[in-house]
Structure 1
Amino acid sequence: MSITPVQFPSFPTAPTTPTPVAGADAIAPSLTSTNGVSGPSGSGEEFGSMVLDGLDRLEGLNDRADNLAVQAATGKLDNIHDYTIAASEASVATQLTVALRNKAVDAFNEIMRMQV
C-alpha cells in the first residue's frame, strides 16, 4: 500500500520578516487624481478578481468534499482519509471566508459611522 502526499490548497502564509509590497511605488502616485480627490485607481478590479478567485476555490473545495462524500456513502471510495481531509479543508476554508466577510462588514459599518 503506497501513501500519497496530502495536497493542501495554496493559502498565503504570513512572512516571518516584513517585505515591501510589490508594486507599491507604482500605486502610490495614482492615489491622487487631477481633481484632488484621493483614491486608488483600478485597484477595485484587482480586489474584485481576488475575491471571485477565492470564492471559486472555496466552491471547488466544497464540490470535491461533496463528491468524495457521495463516493464514501456508495462504497466506491478506497481511502476514506481522502474524504476526511477534503472535508476538513473545505471546513477551514469556509471558516476563513466567513471570518473575512465578517471583518469586511465590520469595516463597512465603521466607515458608515464616520462623521463627514
Structure 2
Amino acid sequence: MMQINPMISHLPSTASINKKQPGIENFNKTNNFGDYLKNAIQDVNKLQIQSDKATSMFAEGKKIDLHDVMIAGQKASISMQAALEIRNKAVEAYQEVMRMQV
C-alpha cells in the first residue's frame, strides 16, 4: 500500500506558489480597480498615439514600411474596440444592479 504523506511532502506549499506570482501578495494593498482602469486607458491612448505617429511618418515620406503603419493602426483600432465593449458591459452591469429591487 502506497503512503500519501511522502507524496504530498514533495508538493510546493501555497506560500511558495504565491511568492512565485508577482503582484499576488500586493494585490489588495496597492492596486485597486481605478488603477487598473487608468492603466488600461493609458495603454489604449499609447497605441492611438503610436498609430498617429506611424501614419504621420508615412505621409511625410519618412522611412517606415506601410505594413508597420497598418499594423499600428489595427492594434489601435482593436484596443479601442475592446475598451468600448468593456465600457458597454460595465454600464450594462451597472444598469442591471440599479434595476434590482432591494
Is TM (by shorter chain) over 0.5? yes
Deviation at 1:77, TM superposition (A): 3.2
User: Which residue is equivalent to 1:75?
Assistant: 61
With normalisation by structure 1, the TM-score equals 0.61
1:63 aligns with 2:49: yes
Residue matched to 2:73: 87
Question: 1:112 and 1:104 mapped to 2: Cα distance?
Answer: 12
Identity in percent: 34
Aligned length: 77
Equivalent position of 2:99 in the other structure: 113
What displacement does 1:78 show? Answer: 2.8
1-structure distance, mates of 2:53, 2:64:
13
Give the match's secondary structure for 2:32.
Answer: helix
The Cα of 1:81 is off from its aligned counterpart by: 1.1
Q: Deviations over 1:7-56 (max 9, x none)?
A: xxxxxxxxxxxxxxx96xxx9xxxxxxxxxxxxxx68x511100000000
Contact preservation (8 Å) 1:58, 1:93: yes
More helix by share: 2
Farther off after superposition, 97-106 or 45-54: 45-54
Deviations 1:60-114 (A, max 9, x none): 0000000010011111133111110000000000000000000000000000001
Q: Is the contact made by 1:68 and 1:77 (CA closer than 8 Å) also made in structure 2?
A: no
User: Following the alignment from structure 2 to structure 1, what is the Cα–Cα distance between the partners of residues 65 and 54?
Assistant: 10
Q: Which runs of 5+ in 1 are unaligned?
A: 1-21, 28-41
Match of 1:52 in 2: 38
Runs of 4+ in 1 over 6 A off after TM superposition: none
Bigger relative CO (Cα 8 Å, ≥ 6 apart): 2
